[in-house]
Every structure is written in structure tokens, then in C-alpha cells.
């Protein structure tokens, strides 16, 4: 079994990715203040596999996750969730995709202080008009 440049075997690569970045770039600022946070990053995230994103502070780990989840725009390349390309999605469609297909765990608490923990967890389903499975 041969291994591709990403370290993933060709047999594994044959299964469809749940999320994929292809030559993903993110640049903040211009001129002297320009910062390249992601420089042509390509990665696949597959079902039933764990992926660790590691690197020193400032290496782009959070930026990659934010771009892959549609929380931040990308400067170049492609970011996909399943067969949906995130680039160019209108805000409403992007909001629906994040609500229905993506789960987030943030480094800092992003909870609404006026809600209970359960209410914070079920808020996206409440907004979507869905009832959580109490089991």
C-alpha cells in the first residue's frame, strides 16, 4: 500500500472525505501588515478517523478550523463540507450548514450567560424548530 504526501494510504484516500481543504489560503491585512495565516493547506477529514492538528502558537491551527467550519472566509483555494463548497455560500446557506452539519468545541466559552447549559446546547435546534432527543 503506497502512501501519499499527506501520510494517508491510497486505500484510505479512496473513501470520500467528510470535509476537505484544497490549497486553502487565508491572508489577513495588506502591505506591511499582511499576515499569511494559511499557505496552500490541503487536508482531508474522514469518517471514523481521528485527526490531530498540531503546531506552535500562531501556526494557523485555529484559522484552519475556522475556515473549514465556515466561521471565517478564505482568501484562496477550496473548503468543502461533504460535497458543499463553502466559498461563495451566502450567509443564510452558510448558517444552515453550520447549524445542521457542524459541531463546534471552542477554546473559550461562547455561552449565553442568561441560558442554562442545556439551553445553550439545544439553542441551534430551537432556532431550527427541531426538538432534541431527550434520550
Q: Convert the pLDDT of each residue in 58-97 to its tens digit.
A: 899 999 999 998 889 999 999 999 889 998 899 999 988 8
For residue 2, is pLDDT > 80?
A: no
Q: Where are the domains of the chain?
A: 10-128
* pTM across the whole model: 0.71
- In 9-129, the DSSP E strands lie at 17-28, 35-46, 76-81, 84-85
Check whether 121 has a pLDDT greater than 50.
Answer: yes
The CATH code for residues 10-128 is: 3.40.50.300
Q: What is the pLDDT of residues 14-55, one digit of tens each?
A: 467 889 999 999 999 999 999 999 999 999 999 888 888 899
Angle (nearest 5°) at CA 27 between 90 and 111: 60
Angle at 22 between CA 16 and CA 27, to 5 degrees: 145
Please give the pLDDT value at position 15.
61
Cα 49 from Cα 43, distance rounded (Å)? 13
- Residue appearing with cell numbers 452539519: 101
Cα gap 55→71, rounded to integer Å: 21
Amino acid at each position: 500500500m503506497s502512501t501519499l504526501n499527506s501520510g494517508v494510504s491510497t486505500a484510505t484516500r479512496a473513501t470520500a472525505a467528510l470535509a476537505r481543504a484544497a490549497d486553502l489560503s487565508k491572508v489577513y491585512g495588506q502591505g506591511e501588515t499582511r499576515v499569511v495565516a494559511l499557505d496552500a493547506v490541503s487536508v482531508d477529514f474522514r469518517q471514523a478517523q481521528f485527526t490531530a492538528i498540531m503546531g506552535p502558537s500562531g501556526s494557523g491551527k485555529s484559522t484552519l478550523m475556522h475556515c473549514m467550519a465556515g466561521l471565517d472566509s478564505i482568501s484562496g483555494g477550496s473548503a468543502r463540507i461533504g460535497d458543499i463548497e463553502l466559498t461563495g455560500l451566502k450567509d443564510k446557506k452558510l448558517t444552515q450548514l453550520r447549524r445542521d452539519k457542524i459541531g463546534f468545541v471552542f477554546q473559550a466559552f461562547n455561552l449565553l450567560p442568561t441560558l442554562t447549559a442545556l439551553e445553550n446546547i439545544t439553542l441551534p435546534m430551537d432556532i431550527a424548530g427541531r426538538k432534541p432527543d431527550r434520550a
